[in-house]
Amino acid sequence: MIRRIVIGSTLALATAALLPVVRNTVRPLVATGVKGAKSTLETIKEEMEDIIAEAKLERMQNQFEKELAESDIEINQTAERKRSTIALIPAAKNKLIPLVDTGVKSVKSTFETIKEEVEDLIVEAKMDRMQKQFDKQLSDVEQDILGEQEPSSTQEITNEQEVTSEVEPTSELEFDNKEEIKSDS
C-alpha cells in the first residue's frame, strides 16, 4: 500500500512538472488539427451542397421535360379531337337540327298548354272568390231587407212569389226562338 502511495505521489509531481511542457507542445498541434478539421468540414459541406443543388436541378429539369412531354401529348390530343369534331359538324348538323327543332316545338307546346291551364285555374279561382263575395253580399242584403220589413210586407212578398211561381207555360213559350229574343233586345 505504501508502494502505491509513493507511486501515486511521484506521478502527481511529475504530472505537475510536465503539464506546462505538454500543454505548450500539444496546444499548437491541437489548434492546427482543429483548423484542419474545420477546413475539411467546410470543404465537405460545400461539396455536399453542390451535389444537392445539382440533384435538385436535375430533378427539376426531368420534371419540366416530363410536363412538357405531357402537355405536348395533351395538345396533340386536343387538336385531334377538334379536327374530328370539325369533321363531324356537317354530318351532325343535318341530323341534329331537325331533332332540336322538334324538341323545341314540343317544349313550347307543353309550356303553352301549362300556361293555358294555369290561366284557366286562375280564372276559376277568381270566379269562385267573386261568387262567394256576391253570395255573401246577397245574403247581407236579404237579411237587411227582411230585418227592415214589417210582418205584413213579408206576407205580401210571399204572396207575390206564389203568383210568379204559378206563371203559365204558354207565356214562357212565346220566346222559344232565340233570334226573336236577340232582335227584341
pLDDT in tens, 48-62: 998 998 889 899 888
Residue 167 included in any domain: no
The mean pLDDT of 8-36, rounded to a whole number, is 86
Sign of the C-alpha dihedral computed for residues 20, 22, 25 and 31 taken in this order: negative
What total number of domains does the chain contain? 1
Residue 150 included in any domain: yes
* Per-residue pLDDT at 48: 92
Is 183 or 86 the better-scoring residue by pLDDT?
Answer: 86
Residue 173 included in any domain: no
Residues 175, 183 contacting (CB under 8 angstroms): no
Residue 178 included in any domain: no
Q: How many residues does the chain have?
A: 185
What pLDDT, in 10s, does the model give residues 149-178? 655 555 555 555 554 544 444 444 444 444
Q: Which three three-digit cell numbers place residue 26?
A: 500539444
The mean pLDDT of 2-19, rounded to a whole number, is 86
Range with lowest mean pLDDT among 11-20, 63-72, 125-134, 149-158: 149-158
Return the percentage of the chain with pLDDT > 90, whole number: 15
Structural domain harbouring 68:
2-162
* Per-residue pLDDT at 159: 53
Is 124 or 80 the better-scoring residue by pLDDT?
Answer: 124
* Per-residue pLDDT at 43: 92
* Per-residue pLDDT at 185: 45
Q: CA distances (Å), 15 to each of 1, 8, 21, 32, 36, in order?
A: 21, 10, 10, 24, 29
Mean pLDDT taken over the chain: 78
Q: Provide φ and ψ at 170, rounded to 5°.
A: -65, -30
Residue 174 included in any domain: no
Is 43 or 19 the better-scoring residue by pLDDT?
Answer: 43
* Per-residue pLDDT at 92: 67
Please give the Cα distance from 75 to 81 (Å, whole number): 10
* Per-residue pLDDT at 149: 62
